[in-house]
Chains A and B, each alone.
Chain A
């Protein structure tokens, strides 16, 4: 069955960096666009970024543009999120999520999430 497993979360000081990974299995990873969606504690869902199936096209929310970078390694079925210049407001559970090859598909598959806490 489809599995998305995030890792790399933790506690980090403001201004520092963190890299999340998402290991995928159970589907043809290289044909799916993959998103990161985050959820601050007790809050709603916020879309962060998406990468096309081939890694060429990337789009970001204004709140993370210039600080976060999404990438993927299709040979290893793995998605990454490099987060630089972290701020307290970036504190959230980060989910990798996908539904299909295009950007218009709903999310059929969610990971379990990785908690990122930005605090001094």
Chain B
């Protein structure tokens, strides 16, 4: 199975700061990499699909990049409401796999 490794595991950030989360795949997955946000006691929410495609209704401060094995989620000008866990997910091959998650805390 394809292993996804996110870094960092945890990040404490002040509002308006830029956040960068990386996701590395154990083998090439093309662009079949997606990002989700999960707030406490909520279901995950799709933020970015296919590495860099935006999702309707998601603020434009969220963006994604990458292909092959290395991917990045960027949050420009962090807002207090962005405190959450973020997961990458590959749908290139079954079994689907997810990164271990990155928790973003607001200072």
Contact = CB atoms under 8 A, between A and B. Distances in A.
State the main secondary structure of chain B at its contact with A.
loop
Given A106-B50, A107-B46, A111-B43, A44 B34 contact: no
B94 A108 contact: no
A103 to B, nearest CB: 6
A47 B95 contact: yes
Interface stretch (B20-28, B74-82, B97-105): B97-105
B7 interface: no
A59 B95 contact: yes
Contacts of B96: 35, 37, 47, 50
A110 interface: yes
Interface string A84-116: 000000000001000100011111101111000
Contacts of A35: 96
Contacts of B36: 45, 107
Contacts of B50: 106
Contacts of A11: none
A101 to B, nearest CB: 13
B98 A45 contact: yes
Contacts of A62: 95
Contacts of A104: 32, 91-92
Contacts of A113: 43
Contacts of A2: none
A44 B100 contact: yes
A25 to B, nearest CB: 16
Interface of B: 32, 34, 36, 43-46, 49-50, 85, 87, 89, 91-92, 94-101
Interface of A: 35, 37, 44-47, 50, 59, 61-62, 95, 99, 103-108, 110-113
30 contacts: A35-B96, A44-B87, A44-B98, A44-B99, A45-B36, A45-B87, A45-B89, A45-B98, A45-B101, A47-B96, A47-B97, A47-B98, A50-B94, A59-B95, A61-B95, A62-B95, A95-B43, A104-B32, A104-B91, A104-B92, A105-B91, A106-B46, A106-B49, A106-B91, A107-B36, A107-B44, A107-B46, A108-B46, A110-B44, A113-B43
